[in-house]
Amino acid sequence: MIALGSDHGGFALKQEIKAFLDSRGIAYEDFGTYTEESCDYPKYAQLACDAVVSGKCEKAILCCGTGIGISIAANKIKGIRAALCSDYFSAKYTRLHNDANVLCMGGRTIGPGLALELVDVFLHTEFEGGRHQRRIDQITELENRG
Ligand code: RB5
């Protein structure tokens, strides 16, 4: 199950992503926003990321205008490794090397064609582990500092 979230700036892209996931038979839950009315992205980062942390969803995809605000908010949540991506290589390697569990994109910065390529590779690339696990563990230690 994939968690989806966006503010108004990412709403249209989230709709494209839902159509893509439907076409691939990939299950998702849309945590909002559900209209183009102006709203605050931290709320939707929290709703979608909480579903990842709880184990209800395996990954999340978040969109705002630039992808920046919602990625900053997501990375404040313990257990979340959110990657803001606008190129294929980064979307692939953030799975291989960072075990990112959240993909963030900007609805006003990249087109839907590229965005769906990023979604596809992000969802279908496995973490490599090995030396990268050590680095993830170090990130977790940072997260656990008082
Ligand atoms: C909303 O206008 C915009 O600030 C938001 O979507 C996002 O780009 C913030 O980082």
| Ligand 1 site-directed mutation target among 6, 33, 41, most atoms within 8 Å of CB | 41
Q: What are the Cα distances from residue 75, in Å, to 15, 27, 72, 78, 82?
A: 23, 24, 5, 7, 6
Instruction: Tell me how far apart the alpha carbons of residues 10 and 18 are, in angstroms, rounded to a whole number.
Output: 12
Instruction: Tell me how far apart the alpha carbons of residues 123 and 113 are, in angstroms, rounded to a whole number.
Output: 16
Cis peptide before 109 (omega within 30 of 0): no
CB within 8 Å of 38: residues ≥ 6 apart: 7, 8
- The tens digit of pLDDT for each residue in 96-146 reads 999 999 999 999 999 999 999 999 999 999 999 999 999 999 999 999 996
Q: Please give the model's pTM, rounded to 2 decimal places.
A: 0.98
Can you give the pLDDT at residue 36? 97
Q: Considering only CA atoms, which residue is closest to atom 3 of ligand 1? A: 65
CA of 64 to the centre of ligand 1 (A): 6
Q: Helix 8-24 vs helix 112-123: angle between axes, to the nearest 10 degrees? A: 60
Active-site option among 57, 63, 64, 85: 64
Q: Is 64 a catalytic residue?
A: yes
Other CB atoms within 10 A of residue 54 CB: 10
Encoded tokens for 68? 């920046």
- The tens digit of pLDDT for each residue in 22-81 reads 999 999 999 999 999 999 999 999 999 999 999 999 999 999 999 999 999 999 999 999
Instruction: Tell me how far apart the alpha carbons of residues 83 and 129 are, in angstroms, rounded to a whole number.
Output: 17
